[in-house]
């Protein structure tokens, strides 16, 4: 069978949940009739090396702001790749791909939305722009049912919007086999670890998590905080907030990690206070690792965890509420063990990486006219 050439268009392949998902799907599909390329607008990013063919990740080195010339640069890059289909991710890449592809006439477009629309994105100008650009696409997908429902409620009905739920590699992300199954974490030896994994953006609210940890640490000397990740607009602010903590010696910032799986095996709880998530890869990875999850109720965590017994979904509006929910979990170790086991079972049964890859593969073939 002739290989189907897919060109992803992203801002970059920097560290992040969406980028992680692209790498996972690309590697899962690489040996089954797909040739995966990536066009990065701004820079290649650290995850480029995780792709099946890193040399097929290229960038147009776009600077800040919008400029029509970047559409021409992307058109030249796509023309060199000659894809059968272009898969765009979030609004910025869709704008430039629409320009580069003569609004979808030169190459068919599958567009993906990976997070709930922010207040700014719900403004009139962005809404009109998004609706117009969606009409250039053969199909639009989200990564969770709640995101699909949100788009439909906002009037995005052409083309059809469907859900392709995120998946997780349950072989790589697995429960700890013993106390020493994980990396050494200076300052956290022997402590019960609350963790967070992700880029440092405003909606991720790691600074609020540090504030909540300070409230807990004052009364609980046996807990520590682990932040895994780097980059994003709040990176320096998060590091400053950690340095200002009176319990900074019990906070470890691990930075960017190509493989986060060993770090989950050191956590007792994953805390996800994000205000906007589609279907959080970090939540799925924690579940596969047997780690209970605490998540905010305004993001996709409710869809994953609601009624499953694998974690808590709470309105985490401020540091005091977040600290209270963490305290509740830490004071019930037997419940934590049950949550971890439930999460692992749910990840294996419902959120496999293989199922996600098969769904994307079927969509690619359908849109490119290659059948099943």
| Token digits of residue 322 | 């977040």
- Within 8 A by CB and 6+ apart from 234, the residues are 200, 201, 202, 204, 206, 207
Cβ atoms of 175 and 347 closer than 8 Å: no
What is the side-by-side strand order in the sheet with 57-59? 57-59, 34-43, 4-12, 85-89, 109-113, 139-142, 161-163
At residue 1, the pLDDT reads 55
At residue 58, the pLDDT reads 97
- DSSP H helices in 144-289: 145-153, 206-217, 235-244, 261-264, 281-288
pLDDT per residue, tens digit, the chain (372 aa), is 578 999 999 999 988 888 989 999 999 998 889 999 999 999 999 899 999 999 999 999 998 888 899 999 999 999 999 999 999 999 999 999 999 999 999 999 999 999 888 888 999 999 999 999 999 999 999 998 889 999 999 999 888 899 999 999 999 999 998 777 778 898 899 999 999 999 898 889 999 999 999 999 999 999 999 999 988 889 999 999 999 999 999 999 999 898 999 999 999 999 999 887 777 889 999 999 999 999 998 767 788 888 889 899 999 999 999 999 999 999 999 999 999 999 999 999 999 899 899 999 999 999 998 754
Cβ atoms of 101 and 78 closer than 8 Å: yes
CA distance 18 to 192: 29
Would you give the distance in Å from CA 94 to the centre of its chain? 18
CA distance 248 to 342: 33
At residue 372, the pLDDT reads 47
Q: What's the CATH fold of domain 192-350? A: Rossmann fold (3.40.50)
Same-fold call for 4-167+352-367 versus 192-350: yes
What's this model's pTM, rounded to 2 decimal places?
0.84
Convert 62-72 to b/e letters by CB count within 10 Å (16 or more is b). beeeeeeebbe
Cβ atoms of 109 and 135 closer than 8 Å: no
Domain boundaries, the chain: 4-167+352-367, 192-350
Cβ atoms of 264 and 286 closer than 8 Å: yes
Q: Select the CATH number that applies to the domain covering 4-167+352-367 from these four: 3.40.50.1370, 1.25.40.80, 3.40.50.2000, 3.90.1150.10.
A: 3.40.50.2000
């Amino acid at each position: 069978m002739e290989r189907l050439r897919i060109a992803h268009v992203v801002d970059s392949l920097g560290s992040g949940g969406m980028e992680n998902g692209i790498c996972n799907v690309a590697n899962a599909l690489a040996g089954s009739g797909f040739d995966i390329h990536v066009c990065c607008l701004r820079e290649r990013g650290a995850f480029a090396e995780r792709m099946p063919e890193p040399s097929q990740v290229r960038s147009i080195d776009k600077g800040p702001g919008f400029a029509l010339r970047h559409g021409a640069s992307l058109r030249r890059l796509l023309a060199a790749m000659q894809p059968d289909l272009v898969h765009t991710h979030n609004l910025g890449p869709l704008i430039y791909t629409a320009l580069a592809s003569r609004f979808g006439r030169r190459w068919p477009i599958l567009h993906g939305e990976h997070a709930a629309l922010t207040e700014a994105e719900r403004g009139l100008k962005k809404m009109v722009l998004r609706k117009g650009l969606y009409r250039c696409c053969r199909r639009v997908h989200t990564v969770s049912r709640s995101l699909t429902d949100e788009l439909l409620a906002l009037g995005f009905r052409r083309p059809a919007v469907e859900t392709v739920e995120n998946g997780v590699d349950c072989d790589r992300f697995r429960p700890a086999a013993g106390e020493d199954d994980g990396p050494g974490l200076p300052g956290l030896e022997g402590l019960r670890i609350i963790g967070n994994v992700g880029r440092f953006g405003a909606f991720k609210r790691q600074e609020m998590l540090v504030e909540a940890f300070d409230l807990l640490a004052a009364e609980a000397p046996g807990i520590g905080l682990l932040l895994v990740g780097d980059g994003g607009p709040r990176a320096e602010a998060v590091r400053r907030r950690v340095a200002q903590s009176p319990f900074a010696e019990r906070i470890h910032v691990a930075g960017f990690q190509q493989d986060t799986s060993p770090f989950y095996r050191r956590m007792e709880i994953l805390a996800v206070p994000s205000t906007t998530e589609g279907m959080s890869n970090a939540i799925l990875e924690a579940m596969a690792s047997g780690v209970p999850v605490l998540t905010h109720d305004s993001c996709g965590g409710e869809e994953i965890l609601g009624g499953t017994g694998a974690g808590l979904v709470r309105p985490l509006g401020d540091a005091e509420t977040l600290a209270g929910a963490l305290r509740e979990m830490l004071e019930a170790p037997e419940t934590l063990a049950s949550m971890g086991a439930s999460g692992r079972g749910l990840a294996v049964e419902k959120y496999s990486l293989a199922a996600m890859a098969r769904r994307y593969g079927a969509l690619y073939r359908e849109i490119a006219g290659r059948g099943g």
